[in-house]
Amino acid sequence: MFNAILLNKNDDGSTDAKLTQLDEAQLPAEGDVTVRVEYSTINYKDGLAITGKSPVVRKWPLVPGIDGAGEVIASSHPDWKEGDPVILNGWGVGEVHMGCLAQQARLKGDWLIRRPASISARNAMAIGTAGYTAMLCAMALQEKGVGKDSGEILVTGASGGVGSVAIAILSAWGYRVVASTGKASEADYLKALGAADIIDRAELSAPGKPLQKERWAGVVDSVGSHTLVNALAQTRYGGAVAACGLAQGLDLPGSVAPFILRGISLLGIDSVMATREKREAAWQRLASDLPLDKLEQMIEEIGLEEALPRARDIIEGKVRGRLVVDVNR
């Protein structure tokens, strides 16, 4: 038996989330690698699943947790053997496949990557999907030719997981980063991560003109809706915007003007179904380029039972940085 958070759907359509014990026989049969989970985390999507605020879960009952780091304890997959340190991000885990907010998980070996030797299981989950997505965004801007001398980089949703790691990465690479946040109290935290300047998210969150004063060479946006549209309208000629989130909304109430008059690029960043090659490249860059002292400033470590109330906090914007879940306490 092992501890796990289990989600069930109530008759009224609401979600029942509780800490319980499961038997190994209750793990999904379609996996070919069983992992002893050491740490997991709570991402925004996990918050949606646990609270039922959005129809993230599409198979019931379900263990949430789109991220996990641990050690292989059994495998019939040719790439993995007992004792291998692994990381899981995405692939529908915690949505349609039992996830990692549990002490054990059975997963498909093709979904796993080897944890870099310089990153502990705890730090891997401090990074998690949020940090791995932030690295995909940063790499996409680089690949599009946005260099550290191109101009300022805007990071929206700056005090969240994606934003915090994006600031740390980009500032470490020598970019001048401007952080957008609705939390004035987080200014010292964001500057400690490497932000050169702070702006109020209210400057971006309301409807704006299709074209505005050019400011940003690049943008990492985890917010969407009007915030993304305004960021596009303020991006300099030839710049690029990496979009990876929808905290403000799924809509894109904007204009083609920035694309056809300023030649900017909107780069969609998907972390869930990214290829193993892309994942491994991102995690190797995280291992080499993310300052661990800055990572430590983002972390709040909690136990498995605490994940239930903190899931509500992350949806309500009450969480700074990264929630790391020690599933064994």
Percent of the chain residues topping a pLDDT of 90: 95
Task: Out of 65-79, 195-209, 308-322, pick the least confident.
Answer: 308-322
Q: What is the C-alpha separation between 102 and 98, in angstroms, rounded?
A: 9
Per CATH, 2-115+293-326 and 130-268 having the same topology is answered no
Percent of the chain residues topping a pLDDT of 70: 100
pLDDT band at 98 (very low <50, low <70, confident <90, very high): very high
Q: Is the pLDDT of residue 317 over 90?
A: no
Contact between 18 and 6 (Cβ < 8 Å): yes
pTM of the model: 0.93
pLDDT band at 191 (very low <50, low <70, confident <90, very high): very high
Contact between 37 and 67 (Cβ < 8 Å): no
Looking at the DSSP bridge assignments, the partners of residue 322 are 299
Please identify, in words, the CATH class of the domain defined by 130-268: alpha beta
Condensed to tens digits (0 to 9), the pLDDT of residues 8-58 reads: 999 999 999 999 999 999 999 889 999 999 999 999 999 999 999 988 999
Condensed to tens digits (0 to 9), the pLDDT of residues 144-190 reads: 999 999 999 999 999 999 999 999 999 999 999 999 999 889 999 99
Please give the pLDDT value at position 9: 95
Q: Mean per-residue pLDDT for 203-219?
A: 97
Q: At what angle do helices 276-289 and 121-143 cross, to 10 degrees?
A: 100
Q: List for the chain the helix, strand, coil content (%; round to 5).
A: 35, 30, 40
Q: How many helices (H) and strands (E) does the chain have?
A: 10, 15
Please give the pLDDT value at position 45: 92
One DSSP character per residue, 268-313 reads E---SS--HHHHHHHHHHHHHHS-HHHHHHHEEEEETTTHHHHHHH
Q: Which residues contact 327 (CB under 8 A, 6 or more apart)?
A: 3, 37, 38, 39, 40, 100, 101, 102, 103, 304
Candidates 1.10.3720.10, 3.90.180.10, 2.60.40.10, 3.40.50.720; CATH matching 2-115+293-326: 3.90.180.10
Q: Mean per-residue pLDDT for 123-151?
A: 97
Q: What is the C-alpha separation between 223 and 44, in angstroms, rounded?
A: 12
Q: What is the C-alpha separation between 49 and 163, in angstroms, rounded?
A: 21
Q: Quickly count: other Cβ atoms within 10 Å of residue 209's Cβ.
A: 12
Condensed to tens digits (0 to 9), the pLDDT of residues 236-257 reads: 999 999 999 998 999 999 999 9
Q: Identify the burial level of 185 via C-beta atoms within 10 angstroms of its C-beta, where 0-12 means exposed, 13-18 middle and 19 or more buried.
A: exposed
Please give the pLDDT value at position 54: 87
Q: Are strands 67-75 and 33-41 parallel, antiparallel or unpaired?
A: antiparallel
Most distant CA atoms of the chain, gap in Å: 61
